Amino acid sequence: MSDPSCPPGSAPQPSVNTLYKAGSRRRIILIAALLLGVVAAAILSAGIGTVSISPEDTVLAVAHACAVSIQNFLHTYLPAVGSWYDAIPFTVPAPSNPQAELIVVGFRLPRIFLAILTGISLAVAGAVMQGLLRNPLVSPFTLGLSSAASFGAAIAIVIGPAVLGGLLAIGSNSFIIIMAFVFGWLSMLLVYAISRARGVNQATLVLSGVVIGYIFSAGITALQYISSNEKLRDLMVWLMGGMWGASWGAVLLLIPLTLIPFFLLERMAWDLNALSAGDDVAKNLGINVNRLRLSGLMISTFAASCCLAFTGIIGFIGLMGPHICRMIIGNDHRYLIPCAGLMGAAILLVSDTAARTIMSPVEIPVGVIMYVLGGIFFLFLIMRARGRGLY
């Protein structure tokens, strides 16, 4: 039977279900392409530096190191399996450059993974916070997170582990990381406590975050004023942000602390889509809006705080990643969250590569690069919007 809505002789119009599936496939393809782009950027970044290494040697260095690690693990813990593994005729050749494995695996790869994990955490947190508060300018820093983490790091740097860290028998760097994370998490608890007194809504949360940020900024200024020249320099370097804390220990710690919040936030995608139509619509659909908003903000803050504790303050990732992805795939959070994470990883990875190579061997803090890129990007958004808003 012909479709009565189609004029005689015209081709039938595709159904809504067909259009929906086609749009979903297109978004999945774009996300897969972005994932491949991040992998390609990581391979190229691992070969760029004061000592240049070809992409072939880069891949061989990583593969050979993995093969040796697997072999050592099996011989140590599973000797029977290790003997079988040695009998396999396939072997991974070592790279032609004898320094490739040390440079790539020992120094550059941990930094690349730290940049990727940090980019994912900040961009995903930004996308979720913007969806929860229905505000395109919200990011992990809008709610006072950056100022609070900076204040915690400033206490650790200025007062020093000799005063506080010695009580816990921890090193200086570990003490800075712990203090930055604790105060970053504390900022969200304070915002929650303030907003709870008046009822949770978007305006209250944002304004509470701004107030908390100003208070912690005042504390940072006071610590800068009383610090010595050496400690003031260390504090300013940390505030600029960088991947100097990269190590395999940090990467292995951050992998679960990044992926677990990512999957928890991805499970909220349907609720975030409903919330975009307004609180009343979401409530009518059976969503506990207050619980969704608070749990989403807490998880986002946790993920961002974990990474910022190792990298220092890196701005604009939580704003740029989600905005770029909305231009590409729209506002559906099922696709926006993974797309924003990969976009944030790509932006931060490329920026960090430029920061360590553009004036090699002198390294520029990646936070400086991000402020330049972020400013240019939002000038572009303002010119593009022309009164239509940022969305």
Q: What is the mean pLDDT of the chain?
A: 83
Structure tokens at 182: 């604790």
d(CA 56, CA 59): 5
Rg (CA), the chain: 24
Q: How far apart are CA 39 and CA 45, in angstroms?
A: 10
Q: Give the CATH number, domain containing residue 234.
A: 1.10.3470.10
Q: What pLDDT does residue 163 have?
A: 58
Report yes or no on 180 lying in a domain.
yes
Burial class (CB in 10 A: 0-12, 13-18, 19+), 261: buried
d(CA 59, CA 78): 27
pLDDT of residue 389 exceeding 80: no
pLDDT, tens digit, 9 for 90 and up, residues 93-147: 888 888 888 999 999 999 999 999 999 999 999 999 899 888 887 887 777 888 8
**Helices 229-240 & 202-226, crossing angle to 10 degrees?**
150
User: Of residues 193 and 305, which shows the higher confidence score?
Assistant: 305
Q: What is the pLDDT of residue 324?
A: 92
To 10 degrees, the CA torsion angle through 145, 146, 152, 155? -150
- Let me know if residue 208 belongs to a domain: yes
Domain count, the chain: 1
Residue pair 274/281 in contact by the 8 Å Cβ criterion: yes
Residue 16 lies in a domain: no
Task: Look at residue 283 and tell me if it is in a domain.
Answer: yes
User: Is position 71 within any domain?
Assistant: no
Q: Which amino acid is at 283?
A: K
Residue 84 domain-assigned? no
Q: Which domain holds residue 209?
A: 24-53+97-384
pTM, 2 dp: 0.87
Q: What pLDDT was estimated at residue 165?
A: 46
